[in-house]
Amino acid sequence: MQPLRHFVLAVQFFSRIPVTGRLAAWAGWSPQLQHASVAHLPGVGWLVGAWGAACLTATGWLLAPSPWMPLVAAVLSTVATLWLTGGLHEDGLADVADGLGGFVPPERALEIMKDSRLGAYGAMALVMALLAKLSLVALLVDVRVQWAALLLCSIHVLSRMAPLALMQCLPYVGQAAHSKALHAAGRPLAARGLVAAILWCLPALALTGWLAGLPLVIGLVLPGALATAAMVRWLRRRLGGMTGDCLGAAQQVCELAMLLGAAAVLVRVQ
């Protein structure tokens, strides 16, 4: 039952799904348990993706004759996923953009990233990321609503491997006294945790292959891997490591790269 406890903790930490009462008491908490729960971040992606896909499908069914349907469906599904996650990863993207948008020393960048106020770089990154996401999801919906819904679910799962890759490749450099992610991301995952994360991702890869074969799988995995590698290189050069905000930023960059890759493939095979 231990993996199930880890998954429940991951749901509690990475989403707004209520985990209270007896369920919370059963799952328990300790720094070790919270760290182990990070391996189930792709599993949380299944819940977030399924919720977004359901909203996408329902909107497509209600507004199918309208030419505005793809855009409205993209907006409502994005709002739904933002609500379910509390904008956790988007907040990380904005904080990283604020800290690393200018040319400041790593120590100063970490201070800026801990500031709760939104700066110009963070606002620009957040707005452009959301606009790009809405445009790409609308493009997928325009190809085929059902495919877009299934792909959205798979991308939410697979893109959550990017934070785990950062944890394996970079040391944690956040300020321990003020960190909310130290227990979760302070050290790399053990081999057992990596296996659990990969197992969560295998059905998403199979679903993607079932939709449009190997080209679509490559269209997701390759851009996502390249975006994650670029984030690792950039953060190593600018910060010398990563923080909890960097993990959220990596997920967002990977998600956008995968949406772009999926759109590029589907537009050609429709």
Residue 38 lies in a domain: no
Q: pLDDT-based confidence at 20, cuts 50/70/90?
A: confident
In sequence order, what are the residues at sequence separation of 6 or more whose Cβ sits closer than 8 angstroms to the Cβ of residue 150?
53, 207, 211
Please give the pLDDT value at position 181: 65
Kindly report, residue by residue over 165-204, the tens digit of the pLDDT. Answer: 999 999 999 766 556 666 667 788 889 999 999 999 999 9
Q: Tell me the mean pLDDT in the region 200-225.
A: 94
3-state secondary structure of 117: coil
> Do 189 and 38 touch, CB atoms closer than 8 A?
yes
Judge whether residue 96 has pLDDT over 80: yes
Give the whole-angstrom CA distance, residue 269 versus residue 143.
10
Residue 5 lies in a domain: no
Task: Quote the mean pLDDT of the chain.
Answer: 92
Q: Which range is least confidently modeled, 24-38, 72-86, 235-249?
A: 24-38
SS3 assignment for 147-212: HHHHHHHHHHHHCCHHHHHHHHHCCECCCHHHCCCHHHHCCCCCHHHHHHHHHHHHHHHHHHHHHH
> Do 121 and 97 touch, CB atoms closer than 8 A?
yes
Residue 8 lies in a domain: no
Q: Tell me the mean pLDDT in the region 128-143.
A: 96
Q: pLDDT-based confidence at 120, cuts 50/70/90?
A: very high
Judge whether residue 31 has pLDDT over 90: no
Residue 196 lies in a domain: yes
Residue 67 lies in a domain: yes
Nearest to 76 by CA among 51, 47, 101: 51
Residue 147: both structure tokens together: 């495919």
Please give the pLDDT value at position 177: 58
Judge whether residue 261 has pLDDT over 70: yes
Kindly report, residue by residue over 137-176, the tens digit of the pLDDT. Answer: 999 999 999 999 999 999 999 999 999 999 999 999 976 6
**pLDDT top residue among 235 and 174:** 235
Q: Which range is least confidently modeled, 12-21, 39-48, 255-264?
A: 12-21
Give the whole-angstrom CA distance, residue 161 versus residue 251.
8
Residue 35 lies in a domain: no
> Do 222 and 254 touch, CB atoms closer than 8 A?
no
Give the whole-angstrom CA distance, residue 57 versus residue 160.
22
Q: Tell me the mean pLDDT in the region 220-227.
A: 96
Bridge partners of 172, per DSSP, are: 242
> Do 95 and 179 touch, CB atoms closer than 8 A?
no
How large is the angle between the packed helices 106-114 and 88-101, nearest 10 degrees?
Answer: 140
Whole-prediction pTM: 0.94
Please give the pLDDT value at position 182: 61
Which segments of the chain does DSSP mark as H helices, in order? 2-14, 21-27, 31-37, 41-62, 69-85, 88-101, 106-114, 120-143, 145-158, 161-169, 182-185, 191-212, 214-238, 244-269
Q: pLDDT-based confidence at 6, cuts 50/70/90?
A: very high
Residue 120 lies in a domain: yes
Residue 17 lies in a domain: no
Q: pLDDT-based confidence at 123, cuts 50/70/90?
A: very high
Residue 186: both structure tokens together: 């302070």
Judge whether residue 258 has pLDDT over 80: yes
Please give the pLDDT value at position 179: 60
In the block, residue with structure tokens 């199918």 = 64
Give the whole-angstrom CA distance, residue 38 versus residue 48.
15
Q: How many structural domains comprise the chain? A: 1
- Which structural domain, as residue segments, surrounds residue 221? 44-268
Q: Tell me the mean pLDDT in the region 34-51.
A: 94
